[in-house]
Chains A and B, each alone.
Chain A
């Protein structure tokens, strides 16, 4: 950890002593909540918190300084000095962020101070979906929600549906308790970033709960398959830090990364070698490699691999597999050999784009790692974080059909589910929709009532990172600035609702959540001051013996007749917007897209041959048509796109999401087919075929660097 951050954090831990030790004058002992009148102009204080822009749950520290806002009281405007958050940095004590942040992490400030935040409880005014609301009091709001829920509670609690984010922590537990006391079904996630498949695979192979951790930093040779772990997958900051160490931190050792993906993600771009696998052929690639390892006696740990699995692999037809993967044999064999011969090999498999057979790939990858003997070893695959159980994923459209009352918290089904799954209709016919969110997004526009939460930086929470090097890792946020608006933490709101309904509710707070994980030497206050609890004390070593012993590699299924819809359509989680939630942050809108350098929009990425055939050039408008709808967007002719594979980043195309995101660009998910893969019930958003046609419209792609070749268009060298 670097010196500056060290001082910063120490001073927030036990400031009195530390600051005299390190001699920084500016850090006073930090009260957990700074009353605005105590703020000194120009005096900065750093407070720990948590970034909730994605499931990674990085611990952050926030720089708090004086600021002035203009407020209006009975018609009269005047200035009010308040404590403002000026900057976020990673919490250097947090083993996940290690003091670093991703681009979105910085932009969290723009959701805190977003001009489109909901400032008080609201009731719908006008039709559903129009996004018109009128203010009401908290009492009214809570009363009417309680009333609706009471009815459902009395008749059929199973008609209550709670959609939330995959984030595990105090918030999700509070929601869980609330639903239990109602006798309602458990909350469900509704996100493309819940990594349900990865969790399911780890559970079925090793009985692990949560996402396994890949110890890239200590590996020597890594094969990434389908996981854009430096971009949108799992825990970008953590894996970027690992990558840095993997590449250049060890004297004399430089890790080599080979990335197999059907688009050139930034991970593939940063890799030493990119294997452009055909969409959905990841399982076949993995089996092929496993097969080569076995054939060439490079599966050093083969005896731990269940016989049935080994036999299945040996029975496979290598030729077919290689043909399916689309990688030339020489290259594939070389990679397999290098992997097998490395003294610290690692296979990182994920489903950045989910296909119908992605689960097969993930399971196979675990067995491949088992063959390489790196499970539970440094530089290998490590068991997940304790208590990382978030809400379950399930088929939301089905649930929506059954539901009467929908409770929304940090979930946007209308955006993240294919239109073809009739979400709009489902929302329209629901009795009641209640949102606890901060913004009016596509789905909240349909809500009847909004009981707004404060921003995570304004409220307390305990968050369990999806991946962490320490078995016990919980990042803690304690409120340190006054909420800007008339909002209430969801825990408090649910509690009030329960009381109104006279049902008993076991309250949950960050503290009550963390308490059981506190090591003896650490008090809650200290934990809160340092922003988390991180240790590996008395944690039982997770098993590395496989439970399941079955592997298969089904061919991917794609919706849409090849002759009519010749192109594979591959939506993916964007670096700027993640699953779309980042789209209301101006900094992210203006951040050049790493692939196309697009700003304020996301283009359809088309390979040069296809583009030439369609007479499409970068910037032209195209219509992407699938069996279930069509979208219009600008095109980017991507020099590194697979022929016949059309990719598009997810994030734009919101109907409602504030001034920066509303009606901007197109949502790739709006045209995909409602195909759910069977093992974990995850949306197979890569399982759609499309056709693309050029539109006669003035070119419209906004790029920061339109030119993507180092030599000029005239090719002088």
Chain B
């Protein structure tokens, strides 16, 4: 079936999608103010930590990694929303993707920016973060490429560059159109960003090729990035970390949480910008099906991970396993299972129940569940090391909590600003017979 927007005249489409760019409702401003003050609070907390020392966080021996690393893995996961989905859909030329892709790609870029900050926030001497980059220095000091953290640095910076380009390319034609109608600073801005786009056949061809190419590349990068993140853990010899399944397990989890994030964002945009005609139940249903699929995949991996550990019955692993399924971490574990499997399976598995609203509910629980999953992967293993005399627990401090919450607000701020500057749904893709004749 044809997706709705095709039935709407292009002029109207453009009006609808450009409307949010001009002016700003008081609701918009208040939300923006609220979110940015929360984000600012987070920045203050970080400043305090830099000034006082990393000790103001709740981490300690033996739990040397805490909320910061949980958030890191979580946000990098979220970042898989965009690129992966839009890339897959682009490559498979799924027609219904058109209204979805840009929103998704934007999530990727911002989630990466946020996720990428956490390893730095986490450092004992954050101001020296640049030592992790291979740069020429008078002491001829190089970083250690055997360290998975170095792979992270490499992978994430590649991914960020890639996905930024990937977001930008399909923006060019829209920006060019906007330039025609904009005035003042906006005109100058769009002018600069449109890179002299005239819409000539050559340009269209180049763009099409570039987008296809980037889609292919970005897919590979995205998969590798979260595999590398997984290797931060599985390359070590800590009980329950040293597992070959972590790579794919993390990728699946990432896409899973990514889709959930996308559904939520789309729902918000839809309401806030009155794009009901463009982001229709059809899109949500399709994404919901994807989410359901990922939920099942996630369950498969989770079972595979824990069953093998339990069956292997290696004492040190069993301690960590036990702490998750029946020990102190059990409540989080079972909530996670409920959020990541039970809810999506029931709400989205039963056809009657699969609606926009249930899709949103499921997505929210999945976001919670996936955050818990990252938490449950990192903390219990560190709490129950190999020598029982060194066991210990972990409780986050207000600083860690503040910063964690602030990053969600930060995501909102970035997104709202983006949506104010650029059409959050690609406009030109609805234009009849744009692009090269063939």
Contact = CB atoms under 8 A, between A and B. Distances in A.
Interface of A: 705-707, 709-714, 716-717
Interface of B is mostly: helix
A327 B315 CA distance: 36
Q: Which 9 A-B pairs give the minimum distances between C-beta atoms?
A: A714-B322, A712-B319, A716-B318, A705-B389, A707-B391, A707-B388, A710-B388, A716-B315, A716-B322
A717 B322 CA distance: 12
B326 interface: yes
Interface in B248-294: none
A717 B388 contact: no
Contact of B327 (A709, A710, A713, A717): A713
B396 interface: no
Interface in B86-110: none
Given A705-B390, A717-B315, A712 B384 contact: yes
Nearest to B391: A707
B331 interface: no
A714 B388 CA distance: 12
B345 to A, nearest CB: 29
A714 B315 contact: no
A305 B318 CA distance: 61
B22 to A, nearest CB: 57
Contacts of B319: 712, 714, 716
B392 interface: yes
A678 to B, nearest CB: 45
A271 B322 CA distance: 35
B421 to A, nearest CB: 51
Contacts of B327: 713-714
Contacts of B389: 705, 707
Contact of B318 (A709, A710, A712): A712
Contacts of A711: 315, 388
24 contacts: A705-B389, A705-B390, A706-B391, A706-B392, A707-B388, A707-B389, A710-B388, A711-B315, A711-B388, A712-B315, A712-B322, A712-B323, A712-B384, A712-B388, A713-B322, A713-B327, A714-B318, A714-B319, A714-B323, A714-B327, A716-B315, A716-B318, A716-B319, A717-B315
Q: How large is the interface on B (under 10, 10 to 19, 20 to 34, 35 or more residues)?
A: 10 to 19
A374 B270 CA distance: 96
B189 to A, nearest CB: 57
Contacts of A714: 318-319, 322-323, 326-327
A450 B391 CA distance: 47
Given A707-B388, A712-B323, 12 more contacts: A705-B391, A706-B391, A706-B392, A707-B389, A709-B388, A712-B315, A712-B322, A712-B388, A714-B322, A716-B313, A716-B322, A717-B315
A712 B390 CA distance: 12
A131 B392 CA distance: 39
A717 B390 CA distance: 18
Contacts of A710: 388
Nearest to B318: A716
Interface in B352-384: 384
A296 to B, nearest CB: 44
A717 B313 CA distance: 9
Contacts of B313: 716
Interface string B108-123: 0000000000000000
Interface in B299-345: 313, 315, 318-319, 322-323, 326-327
A717 B388 CA distance: 13
Contacts of A712: 315, 318-319, 322-323, 384, 388
A711 to B, nearest CB: 7
B203 to A, nearest CB: 65
A278 to B, nearest CB: 31
A709 B315 CA distance: 14
Nearest to A703: B392
A717 B316 CA distance: 9
B329 to A, nearest CB: 12
Q: Which interface residue of A709, A716, A717 has the most chain B CB atoms within 10 A? A: A716
A707 B393 CA distance: 11
Nearest to B313: A716
A707 B328 CA distance: 14
Nearest to A705: B389
A711 B387 CA distance: 10
Nearest to A713: B327
A315 B327 CA distance: 59
Contacts of B391: 705-707
A417 to B, nearest CB: 37
Nearest to B327: A714
A685 to B, nearest CB: 32
A705 B387 CA distance: 10
A163 B33 CA distance: 72
A712 B313 CA distance: 13
A713 B315 CA distance: 12
Nearest to A715: B322
Contacts of B322: 712-714, 716
A109 to B, nearest CB: 26
A710 B387 CA distance: 8
Contacts of A713: 322, 327
A707 B327 CA distance: 15
A706 B319 CA distance: 16
Contacts of B384: 712
B366 to A, nearest CB: 29
A711 B384 CA distance: 11
A717 B384 CA distance: 15
A639 to B, nearest CB: 14
A713 B320 CA distance: 11
A707 B319 CA distance: 13
A108 B315 CA distance: 43
Contacts of A707: 388-389, 391
A241 to B, nearest CB: 27
A713 B389 CA distance: 12
Contacts of A716: 313, 315, 318-319, 322
A709 B392 CA distance: 13
A258 B300 CA distance: 57
Nearest to A716: B318
A709 B389 CA distance: 8
B261 to A, nearest CB: 36
A148 B54 CA distance: 58
A716 B390 CA distance: 18
A617 to B, nearest CB: 14
A206 to B, nearest CB: 45
A707 B388 CA distance: 6
A29 to B, nearest CB: 44
A705 B390 CA distance: 6
A716 B314 CA distance: 9
A375 B433 CA distance: 114
Contacts of A705: 389-391
A676 to B, nearest CB: 41
Nearest to A597: B389
Contacts of A709: 388
A713 B388 CA distance: 10
